[in-house]
Amino acid sequence: MKVNAQSVNFNADGKLIDFVQNRLDKLETFYDRVISSDVYLKVENTSSKENKIVEIKLNIPKDKFVVKKQCKSFEEAVDSACSSLERKLKKIKEKQRVKA
């Protein structure tokens, strides 16, 4: 799957980009027709520790999902967002199975 990662207000290191790529590749085990994904990594200027925001836009045929999570670390936010996407993809696959 093609992953387009963008970091806003900071420079993401290679490890973080690799982590995002690997985590999103796992989504293809739940739904194999994922076209691409756009990942936005943002750091919010607040005194709160939970200032890391991850927004993932997942493109599949005839639909698009957007998930936004805010956590203490980018890894935690990516994991949380991917878990939400997994549930959505399972739901779509189940609906297609019922139609067939």
Query: Would residue 22 be called left, alpha or beta, if left means φ above 0 and alpha means ψ between -120 and 50 degrees?
Result: alpha
**Domain 2-99 indexed as CATH 3.30.1300.10:** no
Model confidence pTM above 0.95? no
Model confidence at 14, pLDDT cuts 50, 70, 90, reads very high
* pLDDT at residue 17, as a whole number: 93
**Per-residue pLDDT reduced to its tens digit, 20-72:** 999 999 999 988 889 999 999 999 888 888 899 999 999 999 899 999 999 99
Q: Please provide the DSSP assignment of 44-84 as one string.
A: --SSSS--EEEEEEEEETTEEEEEEEEESSHHHHHHHHHHH
